[in-house]
Structure 1
Amino acid sequence: MKRKNLLALALIGALTVSMFACTKKDAVETTSNEEISKTTLSKITSLGFSIDGARKVEGGYLVEGDILLTDDNLSNTSKGANLSIAETEQYRTTNLVTGLPRVITISVTNLPQVYSDAVDQMITRYNALGLQLTFQRATTGTVGNIDVFGFNEGPSGGYITLGSAGFPTSSGQPFNQVKMNTNVNAYGTNPNLLYLTSVLQHEVGHCIGFRHTDYMNRAYSCGGKRANEGTAGVGAVQIPGTPSKADAESFMLACSNGGNRTFNANDLIALNYLY
């Protein structure tokens, strides 16, 4: 739910820019990670994440397209179940949000109104599930447990980042930031409310501990060659009760379909199991 492949649809030739934003799938940009030390790359791999396209960014390291790993993530080892490699089950990280029942506050900082409206829609979607983890907007003028803010980054190498987030801390706190791209090439000049809501829903899923549903083969939603996001013993724990067959509409698929994607039946099983 983080990148769009600008080159793939350019080859089609007849589509308009607005159609690109609605139909293109996200993909991972395979760039050099030479700026990351071998020690850090080894830590990323040991946590079960792919280093393909990994890059150093403010606050940590961006992996798998939209996941921000902090130094805290890299310095902690698994205290729970080991990795289960299968077909397309929902996966969670080792760390989850603790202290349930709990209300997570969300603030929006310096973003156009449509992003704020999308945050409200996202909150409504989660709260309608009746989980022990609920969300609400932070008091005006304060920063919430999760702050949604913007960055402006254009295409690079045929790809563009839509948004990014990290995972819960080892102390059971949700990741505290969701970054959304305000560049016109990300969502167009008139961003679609439901599309923004779906991207935010996905990124907040990372903040509370979800990995990508097609963890074992991101080509399932992104296209291209088969790519496993990591095979180590930590960092991707199968959620019991979720299926081992293809799950085409999960909100945590690695790549967006360019439209409105909310919780499907298996996502609900996963969310209710965790929270």
Structure 2
Amino acid sequence: MLLTLLGIAVVVIGLWDMYHSLLHPSGTGAIGGRVQSGVWWISRRTGHRFGSAVGPGSMVTVVVLWVVLQGVGWALVYLPHVPEGFTYSPGVDPLNYPDPVDALYISLVTLATLGFGDVVATDPWIRLATPLEALTGFALLTAALTWFTQIYPPLSRRRSLALELKFLAEVDYAAGIAQEDPVTATRVLDGLAAEVAKARIDFTQHGETYYFQEEDPSLSLARHLSYALELRDRAAGASSPRVRTSARRLGLALEQLGATLREDFVVSGEGPEEVFAAYAADHLRDTGR
């Protein structure tokens, strides 16, 4: 009974973490989030030697952990019933294998939905449990594939924002924004505010994307985000009320993004300036242009 309850608890913990990582609005599971931050910490201490492989590598590590939790959890459920609760094919002698190894083998084969047929459950309760594990394995595979495909839109939006800020910095747009045509300046500032707000939502719902290191500096939001603060400050001194209003909107969006980064990732800094500097340092990107 204790082994069964422990196994069920392990299975539920793994499924709960999958739910919070993939379906919950927070976008981060307690276990998966710590694993990813741990992988990032190791990468940071080694100077991000593995570059852009860190983000995908941390996600693969989390998926492997989910597989281990499900495999071990169901193995604990099967263990009290091995070998009496199963029928073995001719040529397979259960006495040749330790019971824990046999239970883990049955669990992994069932989880992967391989269906070798060399070991078949005969115990009534276990016969009900094995299809449930197979469904769990199918859900795990689908969830992993979905997780990997859903990160690319947030990454594309972040890179697009980084490029836009880079281009504005290269033409020194902030220097003349106070004298710019109010309609044009307002459109630029409002567009940036909308993109910054999207970046904040992406960090909230797809926290795993924070751990993607950009090899191309021009695509690094960590490097170029500080220029949005300069645009905000210069536009705040414009004579046009419309431009000043747009500057305040951009400032609010930047403050909210800074709060999200501080609470969930960099855990340092007070205002947006300090948080963005910590964000750049965490990604080993200076803010020089």
TM-score bracket, normalised by the shorter chain, equals under 0.3
Instruction: Give the helix-richer structure, 1 or 2.
Output: 2
Larger radius of gyration: 2
TM-score normalized by the length of structure 2: 0.21
TM-score normalized by the length of structure 1: 0.22
